[in-house]
Structure 1
Amino acid sequence: MGLSDIGAAVLRRLDPETAHRLAILALKVAPLPAPPADDPVLTTTVAGLPLSNPVGLAAGLDKNGEALRGLARLGFGFVECGSVTPRPQPGNPRPRLFRLSEDAAIINRMGFNNEGLEAFADRLARRPRGTVIGANLGANKETEDKAADYVAGLTRLRGLADYVTVNVSSPNTPGLRDLQGRAALDDLLGRLAEARAGDRTPVFLKIAPDLTASEIGLIVEAGLDHGLDALIVSNTTLDRPETLLSPHRGEAGGLSGAPLKPRARAALNAAAEAAAGRLPLIAVGGIDSGAEAYDRIRAGASAVQLYSALVYEGPGLVGRIKRDLAARLRADGFSTAAEAVGSAR
């Protein structure tokens, strides 16, 4: 166990939100060394963005873009910060973050707590170079025209992020998931396409795992119709599997971590079936090993993202996943991760 993993073990003894805040502070100030160069077999591309490895950090850890320099040194192929809303907001009342240690899971009902778009943009303007940085956009809770909030985020962050993700799948903002319906999605994506005005920054859409295969198929077609660059599959779930053991299992909010695997896999399979190679996919949800990452890539994902597993395994998990993934790629005769995408379909 490395020093960073020991630190993660210490943080798990604290209140979850306090531990989260301390982790961000540590990543801001710790003099972390640059990670070793990635194995060339891990090379891939997502929406035209070249990645030295396909293992990314999911949104939610660094909501305000405070610790990008530290996060960039943990070995990720790309780092997604946010979610950010146009206006600052405190989010939901505490407690709002729960560890389900018995289940290697987390429930959160944070409610897009963040310092707002201006503070976020100022930090992105000073971002580290050499790492692909994405910005995850949300909508303010009290906003009636939520599509306008996404347009505001896209416009303000032009030239500051390598890609932006439109998050319409958080379960903790009332009415947000309604934007995944075809009519609302057509309106949202149409307005975003107009706001891009020739800007080539890729735009991704993050969807919920609690959708049917037909609903995911409609989202894929809407994305293709409006020039979406990739789909992130998927966010947290409102489902509560009967296998959950933790006394926190009844808390309201989105469930992430190991119990999300079946739903996230099913959503990815539905998206890959509908996309048929026409739209890049990024897999999220319960990815905690090289084997799981490899399975999602072979199922059709061009890249994967982690978050909850880091809480339980520590930041050393990134390197372990990359080493195992590289070994699996070579064992199956692939020269790059890109070659393995969809190979099990």
Structure 2
Amino acid sequence: MTNPAPLIPHHSSASLQAVSSSRAHRVAVVGDVHDLWDEAEEGILRHLGVDLVLLVGDFGNEAVEVVRAVAQLDLPKAVILGNHDAWFTATAWGRGLRGTRQDDRVQQQLDLLGAAHVGYGKLDFPQFGFSVVGSRPFSWGGSTWKNGSFYQQRFGIDSFAASTAKIVAAAASTTSETVLFIGHCGPKGLGEQPEDPCGKDWNPIGGDYGDPDFTAAIEQTRALGKHIPLVAFGHMHHQLRHTKTRLRKMVQVDNDGTVYLNAASVPRIVQTSSGRSRNFSLVTLVNGVVTDAALVWVQDDFTIQSQQILYQAAVRSRKG
């Protein structure tokens, strides 16, 4: 962890303060939970001044009780489920592991989350001036179409092209011209090196493991005239498998100014000499522009243990 630093203020820079009538919103992105979620989360998020929580899945191996707790979070939120959230359902080998159990834990999770689950869907947040659109839920990543029967039965989707069309249809239905995308896995195009946000870091090492349908959906959503300041995801953990000398690159920015944020800092709760600490990726948006992003570790008593600045940019006010 980096040395403790003051939390980026809600209005984070001199340039930001110079924007008259600026509309600043703090978004917390919660990376892969893997069963590490507890009753302290909401109080900490409120203390951090978070306006919206984006949760990018992998709550556990079909961990219904964890998802139940997430669903009870009384803050504006949008959720997408990950590959572990269909661990015993999506694959033949997973179905073999669950034995004679007949309960549909994937559907239980979807029912608990209700409208908060934006996989292949969207939520409009007019109070913030943007909408949130979800990519393909339960993604394992990569350019091979996997778990075809699962996607056909659950969503009527049989290909990357059909998946892209469903994501774009959700984006087209948003009420805002500004769209934040969330996925469990990130889009293809961020994995040239194993250490990149979507780079493959296991044997055979190398290759882009992003979702091609997600990439196509982003491109087609831009063609609709939508502005996309943030794409948030997880799945590819920051701790790399092939080397312990560095961590995965967490942020990348494209030529359109879109900030791509990998929030999968795992484990997200750790025990330190001064107590438990958990991480959130905090993103500030002002008038539809990402001005800063940081990985923040917070103790149960609300103390900021550390803060790693991932991205900072001068404010460029958008009209409309």
Q: Which TM bucket (shorter chain)? A: 0.3 to 0.5
TM-score (norm 2): 0.45
Compare the two structures and name the one with the higher helix fraction.
1
TM-score (norm 1): 0.42
Compare the two structures and name the one with the higher strand fraction.
2
